[in-house]
């Protein structure tokens, strides 16, 4: 079994070579959309395999491998964000890994193993642990039971508690080389524009396509290309139900970063397909107003999911945007 994606081959080899002297906890850290979770799962499978190859890879045929593939290996736990129903009856993905989940994992590692081999707990994204759940896990990370391995995956390792970080063997997985991602994406029927919009993360480009974002993005960016001539009221009314908050934030923030780059005579990074429009707008932009709006956008990213009056938020943003020119 090779690495899940070609750019992961070096780190995959490194993980396999750690088999002889396994750390208690490994942290796979790096940007989203590069395959860290798949990598962690493949590694878990190789560690739970009962007849691994001489290179440490999972055999794919033993009982351990079958259990793992079926998602029912009794010595594996996956601690992640769960889908819950809130008080209003809406089904939503939780924003945190709860202390109850962490406690259940702690109990799990204190039992004896079912298959008399290793036991592995995958925690992802680790930044979703809140203080209580992180502290619950810390107790077992400090003195882990024998044969127990924790694999943590984090897209934002700087948000992790220092005490948690210090217990982990950290492996950094950066963005793949641009050419490698481009080549692989081509085999998936995607081009450089998709890669740029995904910030250089190939799996994000694939996820974007699955979410069908292209049309909405083109529509919004075309309107933003109008600069001071856009109609803030009409656009806000048109978009506030149709454009999901996260996508809106991603589009506007990246647009502003590109606009800033263009204004300063640099190269646009996220929206090369709009570079002509960005070059024109960059010349018209007033620097202090542009910087202000970009800074506000960066801060507001934290509250993207909060139930504010969406139409009003969009209208205010668009009005502020018009005033940049
Ligand atoms: Zn196996």
Contacts of 314 (CB under 8 A, 6+ apart): 235, 236, 239, 240, 243, 248
The answer on 161 and 216 residing in a single domain is no
296-320, pLDDT tens digit by residue?
Answer: 888 876 566 666 688 998 999 999 9
Asked whether 129 and 123 are in contact (CB, 8 A), the reply is yes
Shared domain for 123 and 266, answered yes or no, is no
- Answer whether residue 205 is part of any domain: no
Ligand 1 centroid – CA 130 distance (Å): 35
Lowest mean pLDDT among 4-8, 85-89, 104-108, 165-169: 85-89
Query: Which of 174, 189, 222 finishes a domain?
Result: 174
Q: Among 127, 146, 174, where does a domain finish?
A: 174
Any idea what DSSP says for residue 266?
-
pLDDT digits (tens, 9 = 90+) for 101-157: 999 999 999 887 777 689 999 999 999 999 999 999 998 998 888 889 999 999 999
Averaged pLDDT for residues 166-185 = 95
Residues 151 and 272 occupy one common structural domain? no
- pLDDT, residue 10, reads 94
Q: What is the whole-number distance in angstroms between the Cα of residue 60 and the centre of ligand 1?
A: 5
User: What is the Å distance from ligand 1's center to 47 Cα?
Assistant: 9
Domain for residue 199, yes or no?
no
CA distances in angstroms from 126 to 74, 102, 281, 295, listed in the order given: 22, 11, 40, 27
Cα-to-centroid distance, 72 and ligand 1 (Å): 14
Q: What is the DSSP string of 121-188?
A: EEESSGGGB-HHHHHHHHHHHHSPPTTEEEEEEES-GGGS-HHHHTTSEEEE--PPPHHHHHHHHHHT
Q: Which two tokens stand for residue 162?
A: 């220092």
Residues with CB under 5 Å of ion ligand 1 are: 49, 58-59, 62, 65
Q: Are residues 101 and 220 in the same domain?
A: no
How many separate helices (H) and strands (E) can be counted in the chain? 15, 7
Q: Is residue 190 part of a domain?
A: no
What does the alpha-carbon distance between residue 240 and residue 314 come to, in Å, rounded to a whole number? 7
Distance (Å) from CA 68 to ligand 1 centroid: 9
Q: Residues 128, 233: one domain? A: no
Q: How many C-beta atoms surround the C-beta of residue 158 within 10 A?
A: 8
CA angle 264, 270, 272 (to 5 degrees): 80
Residue 42 CA, ligand 1 centroid: distance in Å = 11
Ligand 1 centre and the CA of 58: distance in Å? 5
Can you give the C-alpha Rg of the chain in angstroms? 23
Please provide the average confidence, as pLDDT, over all residues in the chain: 92
Which of 204-213, 256-265, 303-312 reaches the highest mean pLDDT?
256-265
Mean pLDDT across the stretch 4-15?
Answer: 94
- Expressed as residue numbers, the domain containing 18 is 6-174
Residue 209 CA to ligand 1 centre (angstroms) = 34
Per the structure, how many domains does the chain have? 2
């Amino acid at each position: 079994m090779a690495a899940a994606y070609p750019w992961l081959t070096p780190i995959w080899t490194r993980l396999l070579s750690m088999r002889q002297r396994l750390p208690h906890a490994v942290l796979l850290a790096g940007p989203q959309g590069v395959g860290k979770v798949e990598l962690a799962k493949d590694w878990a499978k190789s560690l739970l395999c009962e007849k691994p190859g001489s290179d440490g890879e999972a055999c794919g045929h033993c009982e351990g491998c079958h259990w793992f593939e079926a998602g029912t290996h009794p010595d594996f736990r996956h601690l992640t964000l769960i889908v819950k129903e809130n008080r209003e009856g809406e089904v939503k993905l939780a924003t945190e890994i709860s202390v109850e989940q962490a406690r259940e994992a702690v109990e799990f590692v204190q039992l004896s193993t079912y298959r008399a081999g290793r036991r592995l707990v995958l925690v992802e994204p680790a930044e979703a642990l809140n203080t209580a759940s992180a502290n619950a896990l810390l107790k077992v990370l400090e003195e882990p039971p024998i044969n127990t391995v924790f694999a943590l995956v984090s897209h934002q390792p700087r948000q992790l508690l220092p005490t948690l970080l210090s217990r982990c063997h950290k492996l950094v997985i950066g963005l793949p080389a641009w050419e490698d991602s481009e080549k692989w994406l081509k085999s998936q029927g995607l081009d450089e524009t998709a890669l740029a919009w995904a910030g250089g993360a190939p799996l994000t480009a694939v996820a974007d396509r699955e979410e069908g974002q292209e049309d909405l993005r083109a529509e919004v960016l075309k309107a933003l290309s109008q600069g001071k001539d856009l109609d803030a009221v009409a656009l806000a009314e048109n978009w506030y139900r149709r454009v999901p908050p996260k996508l809106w934030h991603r589009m506007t923030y990246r647009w502003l970063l590109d606009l800033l780059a263009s204004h300063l005579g640099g190269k646009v990074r996220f929206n090369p397909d709009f570079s002509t429009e960005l070059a024109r707008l960059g010349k018209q932009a007033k620097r202090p107003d542009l910087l202000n709006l970009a800074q506000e956008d960066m801060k507001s990213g934290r509250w993207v999911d909060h139930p504010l009056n969406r139409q009003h938020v969009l209208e205010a943003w668009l009005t502020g945007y018009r005033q940049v020119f």
